[in-house]
Amino acid sequence: MSDEVNGPFGDLFPYSRRFGKTAQLPEKGKPREEILAELQQMSFEENNCWKTGQCSGTMYGGDEGHFKFLNEVFSLFSHMNAIQRDMCPSATRFESEIGAMTLDLMHADAVNDGKTPCTAITSGGTESIISALLVYRGIGRERGVTAPEVILPVTAHPAFEKGAWLFGIKVVHAPINPETTLVDVDFVRKNVNDNTVALVGSAGNYAYGTIDPIDQLSEIAVEHGIGLHIDGCLGGFILPFGEELGYDIPTFDFRLPGVTSISADTHKFGFSLKGSSVICYRDKSMRRHQYFTSESWPGGKYHSPGIQGSRSVGILAATWSAMMSMGREGYLRQAKAIFETSFAMQDIVLSHPELRILGNPTFCFSFTSDKFDIYHINDCMKKQGWRFNGQQYPNAIHMCVTRPQTQPGVVDHFAKDLAEAVAYANGHADEMPASAAVYGGLPGGDLPGMREFVKEALCSLMDATMDLPQSEKVMA
């Protein structure tokens, strides 16, 4: 293995040795049959990462027949641009009906204060979240706020910090109760000021899968006349079905008067293809703040409903088709299997006195240990084929249960491998584990007190995954 592909972050270019590198357009086009054969091999190998059910999150659908159906749908509209509504009125049908079905799940019918709930379709949870922040900044400007602030639980997704960074919004981080993992409501209440444009709660948060006390945040938002965004990117398309199945799911949607926006990812438990999310607003007047128009451009009147410009109608068609083909019955059936699997796996974790689960989660849970560094568990189970997501502060392992884990035998496999991992961790408690908490699964290290060093390392990692090595020295 050359140093070029085996750099400080591991083997980031495993296909270079087999298929070579392409740094310039080929003089002559490569035969389509050769391209397809190459891509089919890559796809086959990468699909093996999740088919066993040993991968946390990531592959929410996990049904190749469903993927094949959605890909066929996508191919019918992949080349069409959602901007051109005169040529592609299908985009209007798909987008409006996706939005209407999502509003129905979020109990928009409970809004009886003269507001008109609405939605926008985005490329994913990050765009939904930063669109909401753009809206709240705009609403704040209308009431004279020039230095907007938003109060976030420390467990809120980093996309909120990204949006705040983009739009010049100050972030106030609210601590959580370490036992419940839920946001400290008293802190939120005490830190609302004249510059606060919005509060944030998660349903559920990515790290622990727990649902913040949205009802209490709603009361604060109503009292101060400010926005409350609910990040349901992870739970938006499974928690409503969990509630319908009788699980203890706290109310987090438009039934609460203070909830003014909700993000929910159709490309997660909505089982669509990647690149699809919905941002819901309590009233159409809010959505106007994410619109962009240019009335005097020489190229004509320009307008776009959000951050994106050109968009493939294919992803809209695939998302609409996923929702239509699943139906309420299909979502309920899959939610039941996912919840049952998650609780079975949690019971297995709790059967080991060395381990404890953080908070009171449902389909997504995180566990740690007070006896040894939990990453010893990760080290051992990684060798057994498991791919968990690592947490920090405190160190923990996160398991988001999706459809692949509901396959027969996966829970038993988890029980066997976890028992072996606990024994391994007990035997290596005095040693440093090899793995650490890096979102996305690549190896890395945590150096407390050296945040700038860690930031530089993460930036270097992103460079390494985006730039083609020009020589063997580049990644040496």
Q: What is the DSSP string of 39-63?
A: HHHHHHHHHHHHHTS-B-SS-SS--
Segment among 91-95, 219-223, 325-329 with least mean pLDDT? 91-95
Query: Do the Cβ atoms of 224 and 198 come closer than 8 Å?
Result: no
Q: Is residue 247 part of a domain?
A: yes
Q: Cα–Cα–Cα angle for 19, 25, 30, nearest 5°?
A: 55
Q: Is the pLDDT assigned to residue 444 strictly greater than 60?
A: no
Backbone angles phi, psi at 440, to 5 degrees: 110, -10
Q: Is residue 253 part of a domain?
A: yes
Burial 100-134 (b: 16+ CB within 10 A, else e): ebbbebbbbeebeeebebbbbbbbbbbbbbbbbbb
- Write the Ramachandran bin of 414: left for phi over 0, alpha for psi from -120 to 50, otherwise beta: alpha
Is the residue at 44 inside a domain? no
Q: Which whole-number Å values give the CA distances from 191 to 172, 177, 195, 358, in the listed order?
A: 8, 17, 10, 26
Q: Which domain holds residue 278?
A: 89-322
Please report whether residue 267 resides in a domain. yes
Q: How confident is the model at residue 300 (pLDDT cuts 50, 70, 90)?
A: confident
Output the domain CATH number for residue 139: 3.40.640.10
pLDDT at 4: 47
pLDDT at 243 over 60: yes
Count of domains in the chain? 1
Task: Please report whether residue 64 resides in a domain.
Answer: no
pLDDT tens digit sequence for 223-238: 999 999 999 999 999 9
Residue type, 200: V
Cα radius of gyration (the chain): 23
Q: Is 123 left (phi over 0), alpha (psi -120 to 50) or beta?
A: alpha
In a domain, 243, yes or no: yes
Return the pLDDT at 195.
98
Output b/e per residue, 314-336; b: 16+ Cβ within 10 A. bbbbbbbbbbeebeeebbbebbb
Question: Can you read off the two tokens belonging to residue 471?
Answer: 């020589």
User: Measured in Å, how far apart are the chain's first and last C-alpha atoms?
Assistant: 12
**Span 9-63, pLDDT tens digits:** 567 788 888 888 888 898 999 999 999 999 999 998 888 878 888 889 888 988 8
Residue 447 has pLDDT above 70, yes or no: no
Please tell me the predicted confidence (pLDDT) of residue 8.
Answer: 59
Tokens of 98: 């996706």
The residue among 387, 386, 331, 388 whose CA lies nearest residue 365 is 388
400 - beta bridge partners? 364
